Amino acid sequence: QGHWALPSLLPMASPEGTSLGRHKEVTDPASIKAAAARVGEHLVGSGLNLLINNAGITRLNTLDAETLENMTQIYTTNTVGPLLLGQAFLPLLKKAAQGSPGSALSCSKAAIINMSSYGGSIASPSGWDLMQIVAYRCSKAALNMLTKCQSLGYQEHGILCAALHPGWVQTDMGGCLPSSAPQPAVTVDASVRGMLNVLSSLAEKDTGTFLDWQGKVVPW
């Protein structure tokens, strides 16, 4: 899902979050534009401080079994979706940045946070022996580059952009390994609380970076 706010957990966000609930919505330009319009109406003239791109899918394909269809679908959701969402919500993010005093970047001013993964790290491709998931890894590596590009392109508008790895979390996706494999160690609560702490501390020096839920730098 793609989320624009964490409704009950993030003081800097809107008290009521709006989300795209299905995979097709985060890959369909018309749905994205309509969602941006709905959020704009909900905000009643004010800007959007925080856009969190949390959409993500994967399949347990090996390198030899990877297909064009699988690569295309996963890349479209995990990489192209966040690009289109960033473009669609840019006017609202700009408005928030313009309405915030001071020039320092932060999530309370205006920010795009892309949910990435250790799996997309080229320097340290975590978990290869457990799951090759080539399409997912490639899509997250590309998402990291998109994050860097967004940080360069949107900094002049006062918008912070960063990639965040939530940890190996006990979710449906995190637990999709065979039963014989090690299971996720990070609870949803621990991941969310950690990420909220990271988001609240992000500053200008962090724009364009790749961090984990504990605030540690993840190698590209």
Residues identified as active-site: 136, 140
User: What CA–CA distance (Å, rounded) separates 11 from 98?
Assistant: 20
Contact 28, 2 (CB under 8 A): no
Nearest to 168 by CA among 192, 189, 190, 185: 185
**Pairing state of beta strands 111-115 and 160-165?**
parallel
- Amino acid (1-letter code) at residue 124: S
CB–CB of 92/40 below 8 Å? yes
143-172 CB burial, b ≥16 within 10 A, e <16:
bbebbbebbeebeeebbbbbbbbbbbbbee
CA–CA distance, 53 with 218 (Å, rounded to integer): 18
Pairing of strands 111-115, 2-3: unpaired
